Amino acid sequence: MAKHKAATEITIAQEEQSAFATLVFKYKWPALSALAVGAAAVLYTQSASQAATESERAVWGQLYEASTADDPQAALEALTAQDTEGVVAAWAYVDLARTHLQDSEYEAAIAAIQSAQALSPALLSSLEFPIGPDGSGQSILDHLEASVAQEAAWTLEHPGIFENPPLPEGSPRVELMTDLGPIILGLDSAAAPGHSANFLTLVKDGYYNGTRFHRIQPGRFIQGGDPNSRDDDASTWGLGGPEKTVPAEESGLIHAEGVLAAAKVSGAVNSSGSQFYLTASPQHQFDGNYVVYGRVLEGLDLVKEVSNGEIREEKAETPVEPVTIISTRIL
């Protein structure tokens, strides 16, 4: 009988491992664990960064909404009161300074700029550019503060450029009694005799009784004098008045805060026969185009309050609850 050979054993000889291979084999799992932790950290950082970006975008969005609000000054003051930090807060204060500057509130504007300096990055508050006096180094916010201070000083030295002269002695005075209280107006008959005489005639005839301030621009002006505004159909407001117009006059008066001026049809030369507006703040863009013929002597706060009323969605510049002129009289 043939003898079977024993199964041949196959032995695989192990080559000697290099030092590097030994190191990899020894630390493979700790390394993979560390890599996993590192990857998780990167993902977390990216997630946190994205969340921070979204948060920052939201704050910038709040700044945009405040800057474009109907009353940007109030909206910006509310935003800065939230203790927002960083560049967004700095820009909020800069924009707030702009609103104060528009109203010639120089001290408030400078205070807002100084608040911006305390919060802003170096690009605005520390990094100097050759924009100072005679090209000297100055930061952007320092330059802005100096410019505001310079304008304030210049305005103080030239008051007549931004303010109208006092009314002549004995100038006519008129009371508009509204459902919120009285507004007392003084007419400058010397500067604009035709407009003043027309307004006094309408007051004497009770033409304005029951009319409403049918048009408002927040913080800027209120407009009235349209007989159509007695009706509830707001689509006709602003279109009414007597058939006559008032010939244009060069009164030499400017649109300072609290003036009485004549409205007119866009593109027309002569003024409306009855419609007028009262400014809640300086509106010098109207200078030379519309005739100023008086000023608010009492009730300027009321004018400002009315100007900031809620506006209808279906018709721009039309108040939801227009203030009514109950009666008028010459004082």
Of 261, 243, 244, give the one whose Cα is nearest residue 252: 261
Longest dimension (CA), the chain: 152
Q: 54 pLDDT band (50/70/90 cuts)?
A: low
Q: What are the angstrom distances between the C-alpha of 19 and each of 33, 129, 317?
A: 22, 59, 83
Encoded amino acid at 79, one letter: L
Distance CA 66, CA 82 (A): 13
Q: 154 pLDDT band (50/70/90 cuts)?
A: confident
Bridge partners for 328 per DSSP? 176
- Regarding predicted confidence, which is higher, 59 or 264? 264
CATH of domain 173-330: 2.40.100.10
User: What's residue 49's pLDDT?
Assistant: 57
- Regarding predicted confidence, which is higher, 61 or 121? 61
Distance CA 278, CA 93 (A): 29
What ranges in the chain are assigned the alpha helix state H?
A: 19-67, 72-80, 87-102, 106-119, 122-125, 140-157, 159-162, 193-204, 300-307
The backbone torsions φ and ψ at residue 177, rounded to the nearest 5 degrees and listed phi first, read: -90, 110
Judged against a pLDDT cut of 60, whether residue 183 lies above it is answered with: yes
240-296 per-position pLDDT tens digit: 999 899 999 999 999 999 999 999 998 899 999 999 999 999 999 999 999 999 999
Of 215, 188, 187, 221, give the one whose Cα is nearest residue 203: 187
Judged against a pLDDT cut of 80, whether residue 32 lies above it is answered with: no
Judged against a pLDDT cut of 80, whether residue 307 lies above it is answered with: yes
- As a whole number of Å, the end-to-end CA separation of the chain is 149
pTM over 0.95: no
User: What is the mean pLDDT of the segment spanning 57-76?
Assistant: 82
| Eight-state DSSP code of residue 232 | S
Q: 197 pLDDT band (50/70/90 cuts)?
A: very high
User: What's residue 140's pLDDT?
Assistant: 85
User: What's residue 55's pLDDT?
Assistant: 61
CA-atom Rg of the chain in angstroms: 36
* Residue that the structure tokens 């969340």 belong to: 51
Judged against a pLDDT cut of 60, whether residue 115 lies above it is answered with: yes
Domain ranges of the chain: 51-159, 173-330
Of 176, 207, 162, 172, give the one whose Cα is nearest residue 294: 172
Distance CA 105, CA 111 (A): 10
The overall average pLDDT reported for the chain is: 83
User: What's residue 27's pLDDT?
Assistant: 45
Candidate from 20-29, 148-157, 298-307 with smallest mean pLDDT? 20-29
User: What's residue 26's pLDDT?
Assistant: 47
User: What's residue 3's pLDDT?
Assistant: 40
User: What's residue 304's pLDDT?
Assistant: 96
User: What is the mean pLDDT of the segment spanning 111-129?
Assistant: 81
User: What's residue 2's pLDDT?
Assistant: 41
Q: 199 with 174: CB under 8 angstroms?
A: yes
Residues 6+ apart with CB under 8 A from 79: 62, 63, 66, 92
User: What's residue 20's pLDDT?
Assistant: 45
7-19 per-position pLDDT tens digit: 333 333 344 445 5
- Regarding predicted confidence, which is higher, 83 or 294? 294
Candidate from 87-91, 103-107, 147-151, 227-231 with smallest mean pLDDT? 87-91
Of 93, 75, 72, give the one whose Cα is nearest residue 84: 93
200-221 per-position pLDDT tens digit: 999 999 999 999 999 999 999 9
User: What's residue 23's pLDDT?
Assistant: 45
Q: 196 with 293: CB under 8 angstroms?
A: yes
Task: Say what angle helices 87-102 and 140-157 make with each other, to 10 degrees.
Answer: 10
Residue 140 corresponds to which tokens in the numbers above? 């952007």
Residue 141 corresponds to which tokens in the numbers above? 């916010």
User: What is the mean pLDDT of the segment spanning 54-76?
Assistant: 79
User: What is the mean pLDDT of the segment spanning 180-184?
Assistant: 98
User: What is the mean pLDDT of the segment spanning 41-47?
Assistant: 48
pLDDT above 90 coverage of the chain, percent: 50
